Chains A and B, each alone.
Chain A
Amino acid sequence: MTRLFLALALIAAPVLADSDMPPAPLADTQLPDPRQEAQAQALMETIRCLVCQGQSIADSNAELAGDMRAMVRQRIAAGEKPAAIRAWLVRRYGSWVTYDPPLDRVTWILWAAPILFLGIGLWIARSSFRRRRA
């Protein structure tokens, strides 16, 4: 019986994917200044969690997301601008880390596509109207 239990305990050994450290002080604690907290919250909602990759750090329960929230709140409390904190993260992880992608060589098509398609539509409409009149 004891052997069976030991065998079961071996099989059931949990895979530790998290530390047993408590979350960083500012991970789940709001800043005392509501204006700063609102700034931090707005930024956290547009930073992608590096662990879950489909959630923002504001939504994620991953430990690293908690540490990222703590980092954002610390820097906001120290007077740093949200844009500077976002740039700091983008410098390290690429534009991938932000849900508010910057306009650059890769992303320009996101903004240009609607105008492009509108132009194509106008061109098609014009040529078909002209044909009907003829």
Chain B
Amino acid sequence: MKQTVRWAPLVLFILLGSAMTYGLAKPDSTNIRSKMIGASVPTFTLPPATAGLPGLASSDLAAGRPHLVNIFASWCVPCVAEAPQLKAIADAGVPVMGIAVRDRPEALQRFLARNGNPFRAIGADDASQVQMAMGSSGVPESFVVDGHGRILSQVIGPINPEDVAGIVAEVRAAR
């Protein structure tokens, strides 16, 4: 008994040391997952972000069809890299809705002309209010929303070519 007690501090020290080493060695993730996954899309109405496309309201997302909601901006460089993947997703029949954060209509028009337009609607989120309401912390981010307006999942950062099939399947499975 006494022997065990004598070694206890050393054992504790080694345990604590290994826990700290593990914590330091583990790659640091700066992604912030939205806690809104599983919840309904917060109520919002955004005006059109550019001429020729309608704006976006939360009621559009609860009208019976699942959607991919893409939070992006024309000034965001990874959003350019993501554009071909969004187009592939839209071409597969998934309605892609955009939320443009802090954007100008002219800049957005140029962005769509250059990178293609996969969006059925783009709402203008000029003060990031809807972005915050969705629990998103950057651009680009995408949310899969089912036909009842419930958020099913979140993609943080640009959608990569290898993610496309999974996202299309997830939206198709959501009703």
Name A51's contact: one of B33, B77, B129, B138 (CB within 8 Å). Answer: B138
A68 interface residue per 8 A CB criterion: yes
Q: Is the interface of B mostly helix, strand, loop or mixed?
A: loop
A18 touching B75, Cβ below 8 Å:
yes
A92 touching B77, Cβ below 8 Å:
no
CB closest chain-B residue, reference A91? B35
Q: Interface residues of A toward B: which range?
A: 20 to 34
B45 interface residue per 8 A CB criterion: no
Residue interface mask B67-86, A partner, CB < 8 A = 1: 00000010111000000000
Which of A19-27, A29-37, A38-46, A109-117 lies at the interface?
A19-27
A93 interface residue per 8 A CB criterion: yes
B36 interface residue per 8 A CB criterion: yes
For residues 112 through 137 of chain B, which have their beta carbon under 8 Å from a beta carbon of chain A?
126-129, 131-135, 137
Question: Could you say which residues of chain A place their CB within 8 Å of the CB of B34?
Answer: 92-93
Report the minimum CB–CB distance from B79 to chain A (whole Å).
11
A96 interface residue per 8 A CB criterion: yes
Residue interface mask A54-94, B partner, CB < 8 A = 1: 00000000011001101100000000000000000111111
A7 interface residue per 8 A CB criterion: no
A16 touching B75, Cβ below 8 Å:
yes
A20 touching B75, Cβ below 8 Å:
yes
A4 interface residue per 8 A CB criterion: no
Q: A50-B137, A51-B138, A91-B35 are in contact. Are A70 and B77 (CB under 8 A)?
A: no
A53 touching B30, Cβ below 8 Å:
yes
A8 interface residue per 8 A CB criterion: no
Most B CB within 10 A of own CB, among A15, A17, A70, A93: A93
Question: Could you say which residues of chain B place their CB within 8 Å of the CB of A63?
Answer: 102, 128
A71 touching B127, Cβ below 8 Å:
yes
Name B127's contact: one of A24, A90, A94 (CB within 8 Å). Answer: A24
A50 to B36, CA, bound (A): 16
Question: Could you say which residues of chain A place their CB within 8 Å of the CB of B138?
Answer: 50-51, 64
Question: Could you say which residues of chain A place their CB within 8 Å of the CB of B75?
Answer: 16, 18-20
The 7 A-B residue pairs whose C-beta atoms are closest, nearest first, are A92-B135, A50-B137, A67-B128, A19-B102, A24-B127, A21-B102, A19-B75
